[in-house]
Structure formats: structure tokens, C-alpha cells
Amino acid sequence: ILPMAREENVAVTTWGMLAGGVLTGKYRDPDSVRRYEGTSERGLSIGDVVVEIGSEIGHTPAQVAINWVRQQRNRAQIIPILGARTADQLLDNLGVLDFELEGEHLERLAALSDFQLGFPAAFLESSNVRNLIHGKTFDRIEWPRTG
């Protein structure tokens, strides 16, 4: 998506950059208030690295995660949508404007980010939804662009 957005000069709005708090490390605390019932070990491990980088540079994990997304400017024009629930969270999130991650940190995060489109792409590409939208004609559609 990002290469296409860059090529076509289309801005990309991003949301859910903290994965419901998983990337802040709070899911490692059994007493924390959580948005989701649980998360994958992979998600927890990525959160651990985000927390570690935040500790190294003196910024919160939320700031690290948001800045990683924000700093993908070489890939597309990125417009992060913040999802703060409190004024303190919003102020913390806006702290991303005061610093940028160094190359080493960007590389560490990129190595972990095996990005998958997820929702809504996975939903729209499912055979149930394709059949709902296209009936049994999806395989007969002639796409103007392939590959």
C-alpha cells in the first residue's frame, strides 16, 4: 500500500498504531486495564522492543510506536490518527513532535514489523465476503492492473 501511495502521491491515514495498548507494554502487567482479552506472543515481543527503545531514549513506548509510523515519510505521506482516551494520553502522544527516532531504532523496529494488511483487507479478500459482494463472478472480473 505505501509504495502505491507514494507513487500516486496519496496520503495514508494510520490508526491503531499502539495495537490497543499492546505496544505500550501494558499487556505484560496482569493488572492493567486492557482493550482486548489477550494478544499474541509476537505482539507482546514487539511491545517489549518498543518499551526497550523508549527506555533507551527517554520517551514513552507510545511515542516510540507513533514516531515509527510517522517517520515512514520516505514511503508515503503519513497522517497518524491519535486514539487518546485522556488528555494526558493526548499530550504524551503529541510528544512525538519533539524528537525523531535514530536510524538504529528505525531498523530494529522495521525488522519486527512483518506488516500484514489485516482488517479490512483480509475481510474483503475472504471468499465469504467476495461471494457476498460479487456472487460467484469474482473469478471472471478482468482487472486493469495485475501484479
Residue 8 binned pLDDT confidence (cut-offs 50, 70, 90): confident
pLDDT in tens, 56-99: 999 999 999 999 999 987 777 888 899 888 999 999 999 999 99
> Using an 8 Å Cβ cutoff, are 100 and 69 in contact?
no
pLDDT in tens, 18-47: 988 899 998 888 888 877 777 888 888 999
Q: Number of C-alpha atoms within 13 angstroms, CB side, residue 104?
A: 5
Alpha helices in the chain (DSSP H): 2-8, 41-57, 61-70, 87-94, 103-112, 121-125, 127-134
Whether 14 has a pLDDT exceeding 70, the answer reads: yes
pLDDT in tens, 88-134: 999 999 999 999 999 999 999 988 876 565 667 777 778 888 888 88
